[in-house]
Structure 1
Amino acid sequence: MSDELYDLRKVIDELKELPGQFHETDIPVDPNAELSGVYRYIGAGGTVERPTTEGPAMMFNNVKGFPDTRVLIGTMASRKRVGKILHHDYKTLGRLLKDSVENPIKPVKVSHQEAPAQEVVHLSTDKDFDIRKLIAAPTNTEYDAGPYITMGLVFGSDPDKTMSDVTIHRMVLEDKDTIGMYIMPGGRHIGHFQKQFEKINKPMPITINIGLDPAITIGATFEPPTTPLGYNELWIAGALRNQAVQLVDGVSVNEMGIARSEYIIEAEIMPNQTMQEDINTNTGKAMPEFPGYDGDANPAVNVVKVKAVTHRKNNPIMQTTIGPSEEHVSMAGIPTEASILELVDKAIPGKVVNVYNPPAGGGKLMTIMQIHKDNEADEGLQRQAAILALSAFKELKTVILVDEDVDIFDMNDVIWTLNTRFQGDKDIMVLPGMRNHPLDPSELPEYDPKSIRFRGMSSKTILDGTVPFDMKDHFVRAQFKKVKDWQKYLK
């Protein structure tokens, strides 16, 4: 294989050339709570409990119980680092992904001999097979339901093999050949395919692909309506790299895996079978999720039976993430930005300059929209843009609207807007009784019996911090002299 083909190892080599973006350690670390506990301080960011910070991606080379495995965390836990990885300005990544959706490059199939992910094969029929000893899946906290695969890309198809897709799910290792997979109701195409298999009472063959080029992972987190049923998000990764993703047939199931993964787990989702997610711990907790709280253990996750584990020969890399970290913001937030831009560019072209889904919302719950107004006829379009975003993406809860002179990537500038260009009695729009993400712990009937009838309902809020067009001359920021060679004073 050419060294120019993109995979996780090529990305790591590139990060090593960038100061402060990658760190590795040989100090022994326990994958049970300690590894994530360490990275919490070094680079998690996001909605993780403070103290935390934005820091380098980190490779742990000495993982207790897994002498031949490395664990990588935080590859995408910095928007600026994602920009470096994708060779693009971090402020316009949403536009890059939007363009990639519109110009897809479909995957290509390669042979087993061309697939590094299948250099070593472990079958579930082998003596002493135990996925818990093959996959160094960490637990994020001491209260987790078990070791979790948090960055496993599930590849599956419909029963007739006419459509395929990829999605990320939380998956806990339950015993030597069983995984509990939480498939969130609605929207996920893998879930749609799985329901089709249940109707004919057949197991659904899947592969779980771990250790991937971040272009694949970020592209895979798009959802409808941007990528409708029949659109495989691997096409986006092909466009991002201008290079088709390579797929390979499974060795034990009738499904394909990503050939340049570090690991491929081949498995079947069993029809009409569920199990208690925390059956081994009974803590009532699953794992930390993106809003910053522990997710509740689900009483009925899908049962996944493992048929094989394949991986690379030389020190395969187990890639993982912390649920509430900045990494989730990159994976979920940037594709959502792209989806919002795609929608508003069609409906009200030229009025939304840029969009940012900040860490405060975990990449899903909040968006900041930068608005351009040409004349008085544009007044009010900013609120229609916000309503468009809320109607299309049910997981959005809060939209903040700002003018072009506000840096949407600087929360101090955004909050400044809400202190100097905003009046609560006229610039807040509240839309009650709508659907939102079920992981928001405030969305309970006990919290607001009037508007939250069932769990997962929410009020949506629009905060309009844009200046009324006829008053823009009253809100001109202090104008400092433009100094072209200011950097010379730092030498």
Structure 2
Amino acid sequence: MLKEIIGRFKDELVVIEEPVSRELEITKFLLRYRDRPILFRDVEGWEVVGNLWSTRERIARFLNTDRRGLLFLLTDAIENPRTYRVVEDAPFLKNVEKADLEALPVPKFYSKDGGRYFTSAMVIAKRDDFVNVSFHRMMVLDSERAAIRLVPRHLYAMWKEKAEMGEELDVRIVVGNPVHLLLAGATSVAYGVSELEIASAISEIAFGKPLEVVDVGGIPVPVESEFVFEARILPELTDEGPFVDITGTYDHVRKQPIVVFERMYHVDDPIFHVLLPGGYEHYMLMGLPKEPQIYASVKRVVPKVHGVRLTEGGCMWLHAVVSITKQHEGDGKNAILAAFAGHPSLKRVIVVDEDVDIYDDREVEWAIATRFQPDRDLIIVPNARGSSLDPSGEDGLTAKWGIDATKPLKGKEKFERASL
């Protein structure tokens, strides 16, 4: 439960005792303490937490690893999903009531937002034996309806199949989950691979036990959920947006499906999780699951890959640093191209040697300063498909650039750093 998780980070925790409005005011605190967890004691009568997973170190600490080990933990879990355990009861089943979105502490983050938004919510849907879990922002329309943003992936396909027959898609919406569930829900895996099984793999690696779920009307729901909503996604569309995305810039208004919230379950004294759009927690939860994709892609062309980091300055989406051991000249350039293939939204990749700490921006810049020559080591790929989240791109196209800041194999002794 979130209360126990928050207690583990009390050395970093900021507690706001005074009442805070869900309309814009909550954002001021989330921006003031961007990398520290904040517990709000009173947001419209509810307890709320934000910035909970805003650093790699905190996430790694919770998962019993370190920031370097986090990449390999996630890689293992994505490549080797594990079965979850079905149980008969869950703490959130104790409290059941009609859903009322107007009564919940769902925030309006910025003045130009289209409305109040669920940002940490994950949607669970089932088709035959396949269970899909994914993040979807939802703009509150009234006490029981919201507009849900569906990108063309698995939940969209499940909804579209129903909508074309004039039917609704039955879903469960969860808010307030531990980070292994959140990271799993942000992965991009093949249709048919359940994110619940990835979460279960993370749980087994980190804690030695599988994920537990309980059946809620035919759909498995993680036991460790603060809030659970029974809901239906309708065939009807409405305006959704504008809303701030990971780059801190506004996404445009588009027609999106309507979701109807019917029943709400919650634990005793629940804590509502809010995710600041464009904040560090947003970066972590969206970016960390992409690092294993880049790692796997680069490893296919360069055998020794030591680490991958999507950088905070690049919103953990557009810029990456990769550490390799070169075996042949040209490995650095091949690593750059493989990284672009592993995460097509990437705009810039820097490849460094294993003696450079990819988590230290000064070390990375030092490698560029001392091991890189633009006329020899720079790759530019014009008019490539990039990220729709990059406001500098046009029609989905961008120029990508890669920096090979690795030492040449011949004469590399002159690039060695002094050490004791």
Aligned match of 1:84 in 61, 65, 69? 61
**Alignment-derived partner of residue 298 in structure 2:** 344
**Alignment-derived partner of residue 102 in structure 2:** 132
* Letter paired with 2:310: N
Aligned match of 2:114 in 138, 145, 148? 145
Structure 2 length as normaliser, TM-score?
0.94
**Alignment-derived partner of residue 101 in structure 1:** 78
1:294 aligns with 2:250: yes
1:380-391 equivalences under 5 Å are: 380-391=330-341
**Alignment-derived partner of residue 448 in structure 1:** none
Q: Matches of 1:137 and 1:353 in 2, distance apart?
A: 41
Q: Offset at 1:39?
A: 1.6
Q: Percent identity?
A: 28
**Alignment-derived partner of residue 13 in structure 1:** 7
**Alignment-derived partner of residue 264 in structure 1:** 228
Q: Offset at 1:367?
A: 1.1
**Alignment-derived partner of residue 325 in structure 2:** 372
* Letter paired with 1:475: F
Aligned match of 2:135 in 157, 168, 177? 168
Aligned match of 1:233 in 177, 195, 205? 195
1:114-263 equivalences under 5 Å are: 114-123=89-98, 130-133=100-103, 135-158=104-127, 161-185=128-152, 188-223=153-188, 227-242=189-204, 243-250=209-216, 254-263=218-227
Structure 1 length as normaliser, TM-score?
0.81
Looking at CA atoms only, which structure, 1 or 2, has the larger radius of gyration? 1
Bigger proportion of residues as strand: 2
- Cα deviation, 1:154-202, whole Å, max 9, x if unaligned, reads 11123xx2311111011111111111111123xx321222222223321
Q: Matches of 2:158 and 2:316 in 1, distance apart?
A: 26
SS in 1 for 2:411: helix
1:471 aligns with 2:388: no
- Cα deviation, 1:109-164, whole Å, max 9, x if unaligned, reads 233xx21122221235xxxxx3121x211111122111111110111123xx2311
Q: Offset at 1:425?
A: 2.1
- Cα deviation, 1:16-40, whole Å, max 9, x if unaligned, reads 3xx32x2322121111111111120
1:264-413 equivalences under 5 Å are: 264-271=228-235, 273-278=236-241, 285-286=242-243, 288-296=244-252, 298-314=253-269, 316-350=270-304, 352-374=305-327, 378-413=328-363
* Letter paired with 1:131: L
- CA root-mean-square deviation: 1.7
**Alignment-derived partner of residue 110 in structure 1:** 87
Q: What are the ranges of 5 or more consecutive residues in structure 1 without an aligned counterpart?
A: 1-6, 45-53, 125-129, 279-284, 445-454, 482-491
Aligned match of 2:17 in 11, 21, 26? 26
8 Å contact kept, 2:345–2:387? yes
Q: Matches of 1:373 and 1:423 in 2, distance apart?
A: 17
How many corresponding residue pairs?
Answer: 416
Q: Offset at 1:431?
A: 1.3
Q: What are the ranges of 5 or more consecutive residues in structure 2 without an aligned counterpart?
A: none
Q: Matches of 1:177 and 1:149 in 2, distance apart?
A: 13
Q: Matches of 2:415 and 2:297 in 1, distance apart?
A: 30
The runs of at least 4 aligned residues of structure 1 exceeding 6 Å deviation read: none
